[in-house]
Structure 1
Amino acid sequence: MAVNVLGLVAIGVFYVIILIIGIVAGRKSTKSNDAEELFVANRSFGLFVASFTTAATMVGGGYINGTAEAMGRDGMVWAIGPIGYNIGMAIAGIVIAPKVRSMEFSTIFDPFQQKYGNRMGGLLFFPELLGDLFWEAAILGALGTTLSIVLGLDMTMSVIVSACVAVVYTFFGGLYAVAYTDVIQLFFMGIGLVLAIPFAAKNPAVDLSRVENTWTGQLDPQFIGLYIDTICMLIMGGMPWQALYQRVLACKSPTLARNACLLAAVISLLLAIPPAAVGVIGSATDWNATDFKGNVPLDYKQWTHIFPMVLQYLCPMSVSIIGIGAVSAAVMSSADSCVLATGSVFANNIYKNIFRPKATQREIVWVLRGTIIVVGSAGAAIALTVGSVYGLFILCADLMYVIQFPQLVCVLWLKCANTYGSLTGFIVGLFLRVAGGEPFLSIDSLIKYPMHHEEYGQLFPFKTLAMLCSLFSIIGVSYVTERLFTHGTLSKKFDIFRCYTEKEEEQKTGDAEMEKKEPLMTNTDPDFFENGRFELRTRNQGKSINSF
């Protein structure tokens, strides 16, 4: 297939514009070399920027191409990715976002390390890492197939160049660059996606009557367990992401963080309608009446490419190029979020908290930038080796649901949660999930749950079972170990994670320091009353230690 020079030039111009905007927007954080600014943009986001960058993060290439793929091949009943993810984001906005923003963390892994210790918090980073890599691979793969089909470009080169552009401006600008390019990219997405629909629908090869009885799809009773499992995974597996909370933590206030999540969920759900319509149009097309040279009816792999196929064969070239711009914008807006989220956690919670507690701000910034390059390269490599975009789009929420979601719930709301419970929940959830197998990654089932099918695999909602087992393991083990150690049933010398030993040592140290202090002033001292408040002060430090 010949390369479309006009389209190539147009996409090149788009990439240059985004690159310039990203670098210019990130100049403030680049000059300051302050890691906190790169992580959370000095907590300066208002409602407009916060909601748009959050929505743009959700709407990636996997979101667009994957929705079109599922809608066209399986019908609306199975195009549940956007619905599940956005419900999860809305719930997270109401319940979790105000809580974590009010605590002013740098990343969502800060509470894990504060409660469970740095090493356990570091272990919980790996589900996030795998989720981000699969997510990035899904969106880069979507763009690669789109550019190769519509413009005739080599897919490998398309993926590499796109990844490089996203990595470069994220490298220099951090969250400032990511957020402000996201706003521009979201407008590109909206225009490009909506514009393609009327042109494709009016193509002579399209007859919507072909799908008037099938576009909704159907749910076979034997797949109900699998369906419930997938819905729950999308809703709850979409809630623990660092990319989401990076924007939440950058908001000016907890209330604004909540409102931004809710508005972003509405925006991204609306942006799922155009690709869903493209999927229906693709299903209603007589592909023999177009210039398409592949197999008809379309096989499974061809449905993965249905969005770029509609752009290429059913739309005028000018509209196709604008549509490619929409996909490119979606890819950039999510790819930069993936690499920045992973880089932020690694630099702050792994490198600084575990390996280099005395690391300078400049050092942390360069670790962040190095991680951005590594993660961007790894995601591109996965994108070039894996098939279904929608498969990756779903799979990226898998471990986040089974492992990360119960961990997040417990660390924020379970007072007795400790390292023993967290580690047990991690092991139990991981084992039950891996033992269930994963056909997409060619992992065979070690445990055949009820309703197991030789052809379709696990039809029982085993991922939900694994998540619940992980949750109850955290609760049960945390409660039991707390009772054993705090009531003296088990000697604290067996507290290998020092969950209670350190607390006891800190209490003793604090008591010893208090005993060394001189007697407190009495109410006859003229400094006792200050600014209308009663304060007890130490003579040697002159600092308030208690207020009434």
Structure 2
Amino acid sequence: MAIFVPGLVVLVVFYLLIFAVGLWAAWKKWKGEEEDKYNERQMVGGRDMGMIVGSFTMTATWVGGAYINGTAEYVYTPGLGLYWTQAPLVSIPCLILVAIFFAKKMRTQNFTTILDPLQYKFGRYMGVLLYIPALLSDLFWSAAILAALGGTLSVIIGLDVLISVIISACIAVLYTLVGGLYSVAYTDILQLIVVLIGLMLALPFAFTHPAVSSIATTAYDSPGWLGTPDTATIGLWIDFVLILTLGGIPAQVLYQRVLAMKSVRKSQMTLVIAGIGTAIFGLPSILFGAIAASTDWNATEYDSAGKSPLENNEHYYILPIVLRYLTPTPVAVIGLGALAAAVMSSIDSAILSSSSMFSRNVYQFTFRNKASKRELEWVMRCTTICFAIPAAAIAITVESIQNLWYLCIDVVYVVLFPQITSVMYLDPNTYGSLPAYFIGIILRLGGGEPSFKLDPFIHYPGGLNFPFKTFAMVVSFITLVVFSYAAKYLFEKGIIPEKYDIFQCKLARGGRSIRIDEIMEPDHVYENKTLGKETETETSKL
């Protein structure tokens, strides 16, 4: 396929514009700022973000290339349809739950990452273990996003998938390195506007194409794009809904924005606005999927052999295919910019998420307590680059974009959701956290994972219809609570001597474990055992 030069020119101009906005945001934030504020600026934007910027960046983080492309993919695919396309629906309850139950606790304590409360409560080495599922989640998410863009560029302008993935990853890394969260946030504003304009402009042309039948009629065909509820798979459907609703709660990309807001109330309002905005931005993708399912592809120039995208196994890229063959070329190019914007609005967030957690929770808190500001600055930069490489590699080999997007939430749902919820509302300890961590992983992997051709080694009752992921999460949660309180009882009663408190949870008689609510109070200097030195202190500046 020959390179479509006008489309390539538009893409280059758009990427240069994104990079320029990122540099401008970085300069604006640097101006008059102390040099030693670098890490806080990178991770949480200096904690002074306003409502408008916060609402845009929170929404743009979720409205990524995987979300836009994956939603259209599922609506178009026979046997799935709108019935299995839960992402736009559950975004509202997910973000509202964060606003009600988690945002206030995280923001008032002035944490910097989602791992902070876990590491403070369970210790530095447990924090490293909990970083692994968070890292994998960001990797899978980034790969899904880059894969969406690779397919888009390949379909519309004929650019090789490998080249497009590498270029997009490099651009995102560059402006993230320069400006951190503020560069990400300001570029998100531009990207979200481009997504809205591009998709809404393309919809009327796709709807009115001669090859497209009425979506109201095709909705109820067999199979129709609405999808059909099936009692044989209701357990699996419920599993997916719970994963998408609760699995997004422990996402670091969320708390980057929550912790960057000027106040608790603004962070909560931003989450609610973003939930509604995310659902609204899912509507064009749903309609594009319905249009694709209602198209007679023999009446288009898509394939001279008369095959449909489904028959060519290209339903993963159905949205760019619709733009390319059902809209005029200028509109398709603008749509390309919209999809590229959606990708860039999320990939930078994922990159910043993992590099922030590594430099702070793994490198500084676990191995280099006395690391200088300059050292941490370079660790974060190197981690940002290193993270983008495997993400791009996975993107090049991925099959289903939507499946990979589900998998990124799946990982944190099973392992991290029980841990963060228990820390916020109960009084767990490392004796519960460690077994819960491994039990959750074993039960989850036991069900298999088709995306990586991993066959199940635990045969759950009901087969695929058994919600084994939710089962793994619930068992992990119960294990965490039971083991934590059992250890607390045994140490407090003196049944197990204090000398056997290998995790130094201070549960023995006369001791008292510290709840998260008590860790950080305004203007309070606290002792932090997770830093490995009894003399290490950190001051909260609310």
TM-score, with structure 1 as normaliser: 0.89
Q: Secondary structure at the match of 1:249?
A: helix
Aligned equivalent of 1:526: none
2:66 is aligned to 62
Question: What's the CA shift for 1:98?
Answer: 1.5
For residues 100 and 273 of structure 1, what CA distance do their matches in structure 2 show?
31
CA contact (8 A) 1:301 1:388 kept: no
| Cross-structure match for 2:258 | 248
Counterpart code for 1:219: P
The alpha carbon displacement at 1:482 in A equals: 0.3
Distance 1:436 1:176, change over 3 A: same
Offset of residue 152 of structure 1: 0.7
The answer (yes or no) to whether the contact 1:189–1:327 under 8 Å persists in 2 is yes
Which of 174, 179, 182 matches 1:176? 182
Conserved? CA contact 2:492–2:508, under 8 Å: no
Structure 1 gaps of 5+ residues are 453-457, 508-548
Give 1:521-540 correspondences, 5 Å limit: none
Matched, 1:433 2:444: yes
**Does 2:313 correspond to 1:306?**
no
Cα pair 1:107 1:246 within 8 Å, conserved: yes
**Which residue identity is paired with 1:161?**
I
Match of 1:26 in 2: 26
Aligned to 2:210: 204
Q: Which residue of 2 aligns with 1:228?
A: 238
Q: Which amino acid in the other structure matches residue 211 of structure 1?
A: T
Shift of residue 349, structure 1, vs aligned partner? 0.5
Match of 2:472, as an amino acid? A
Q: In structure 2, which of residues 318, 329, 343 is the aligned counterpart of residue 317 of structure 1?
A: 329
Q: How does 1:248-397 map to 2 (within 5 A)?
A: 248-293=258-303, 295-296=307-308, 298-299=310-311, 301-397=313-409
Secondary structure of the corresponding residue to residue 301 of structure 1: coil
Rounded Cα–Cα distance in structure 2 between residues aligned with 1:249 and 1:301: 42
Per-residue deviation, residues 201-236 of structure 1 (Å, max 9, x unmatched): 111111125513123110221100100011001101
What's the counterpart of residue 121 of structure 2?
A: 115
Moved segments of 4+, more than 6 Å: 501-507
Tell me how far apart the structure 1 counterparts of residues 235 and 177 of structure 2 sit (CA, whole Å): 43
- 1:505 Cα deviation from its structure 2 partner: 8.6
1:218 paired residue among 207, 228, 246: 228
- Inter-partner Cα distance in structure 2 for 1:502 and 1:363: 38
Give the Cα separation in 1 of the matches to 2:30 and 2:412: 30
Q: Distance in 2 between matches of 1:126 and 1:438?
A: 18
Q: What is the alpha-carbon distance in structure 2 between the residues aligned to residue 58 and residue 349 of structure 1? A: 24
Is the contact between residue 237 and residue 398 of structure 1 (CA under 8 Å) also seen in structure 2?
yes
In 2: Cα distance, 1:88 partner to 1:425 partner: 23
Partner of 1:445: 456
Unaligned runs of 5+ in 2: 514-542
Partner of 2:248: 238
Match of 1:489 among 495, 501, 505: 495
Contact 1:72 1:280 in 2 (8 A): yes
CA contact (8 A) 2:65 2:339 kept: yes
Cα distance between partner residues in 1 of 2:318 and 2:240: 22
Shift of the alpha carbon at 1:93?
1.5
The one-letter code sitting in structure 2 at the alignment partner of 1:16 is: L
Deviations 1:156-177 (A, max 9, x none): 1011001110010001110010
Using the alignment, how far apart are the partners of 1:297 and 1:359 within structure 2? 53
The alpha carbon displacement at 1:48 in A equals 0.7
Equivalent residues in 2 for 1:65-144 (5 A)?
65-73=69-77, 74-144=80-150
Q: Amino acid of the residue matched to residue 144 of structure 2?
A: A
Query: Contact between 2:130 and 2:416, CA under 8 Å: does it hold in 1?
Result: yes
Shift of 1:504: 6.8
Distance 1:109 1:333 in 2: 23
In the TM superposition, residue 3 of structure 1 has moved relative to its aligned partner by: 0.7
Which residue in the other structure is 1:16 paired with?
16
Question: Computing the radius of gyration over CA atoms, which structure comes out larger, 1 or 2?
Answer: 1
Question: Could you tell me how far apart the structure 1 residues matched to 2:156 and 2:246 are?
Answer: 36
1:160 is aligned with what amino acid? I
C-alpha distance in structure 2 between counterparts of 1:11 and 1:297, whole Å: 24
Q: 1:106 to 1:296 in 2, by over 3 A?
A: closer
Distance 2:219 2:426 in 1: 50
Counterparts of 1:110 and 1:296, CA distance in 2: 49
Checking the alignment, whether the CA contact within 8 Å between 2:493 and 2:509 is kept in structure 1 is no
**1:502 Cα shift?**
9.6
Whether the aligned pair in 2 keeps the contact of 1:29 and 1:38 (CA below 8 Å) is: no
Q: How many aligned residue pairs are there? A: 501
Partners of 2:247 and 2:149 in 1: CA distance: 24
Q: Tell me if the contact between 1:301 and 1:387 (Cα under 8 Å) persists in the aligned partners.
A: no
Q: C-alpha displacement at 1:84, in angstroms? A: 2.3
Choose which of 463, 468, 475 in structure 1 pairs with 2:469.
463
Q: 1:458-496, CA deviations, whole angstroms, 9 ceiling, x for partnerless residues?
A: 220011110000000010000000011112111011111
Letter in 1 for 2:355: G
Code of the aligned partner of 1:424: P
Between the aligned residues of both structures, percent identity stands at 45
Could you say which residue in structure 1 is the equivalent of 2:529?
none
* 1:26 positional shift: 1.3
Spell out, residue by residue over 1:3-35, the C-alpha distance to the aligned partner (whole angstroms, 9 max, x if none).
Answer: 110110011000000001101211234973521
Equivalents in 2 of 1:94, 1:80: separation in Å? 22
Matching residue of 2:3: 3
Partner of 2:535: none
Structure 1's 80 and 111: CA in aligned 2 closer, same or farther, altered over 3 A?
same
In 2: Cα distance, 1:268 partner to 1:426 partner? 31
* CA 1:355–1:319: 2 relative to 1, 3 Å: same
Q: CA deviation at 1:75?
A: 1.6
Paired amino acid for 1:443: L
CA distance in 1, matches of 2:144, 2:26: 26
Give, as a single letter, the amino acid of the residue that structure 2 aligns with 1:286.
D
Residue 297 to residue 260, structure 1, CA distance change in 2 (3 Å): closer
Residue from 386, 401, 416 that aligns with 1:404 = 416
Question: Are 1:162 and 2:173 an aligned pair?
Answer: no
How large is the RMSD of aligned CA atoms in angstroms?
1.7
Q: What code does the residue aligned with 1:268 have? A: T
- Is the CA contact (8 Å cut-off) linking 2:104 and 2:264 kept in structure 1? yes
Look up the SS of the partner of 1:424 in the other structure: helix
State the secondary structure of the residue aligned to 1:56: helix
**Contact in 2 for aligned 1:189/1:325 (Cα 8 Å):** yes
Q: Which moved more, 1:348-357 or 1:210-219?
A: 210-219
Contact kept, 8 Å, 2:60 with 2:188, in 1: the verdict is yes
Any idea what SS the aligned residue of 2:371 has?
coil
Describe the superposition over 1:72-114 as per-residue Cα deviations: whole angstroms up to 9, x where unpaired. 1122111112222442122112211111111111111111111
Residue aligned with 1:271, SS: helix
CA contact (8 A) 2:447 2:457 kept: yes
* Residue 149 of structure 1 pairs with residue 155 of structure 2: yes
Mapped contact 2:431–2:487 kept (Cα < 8 A): yes
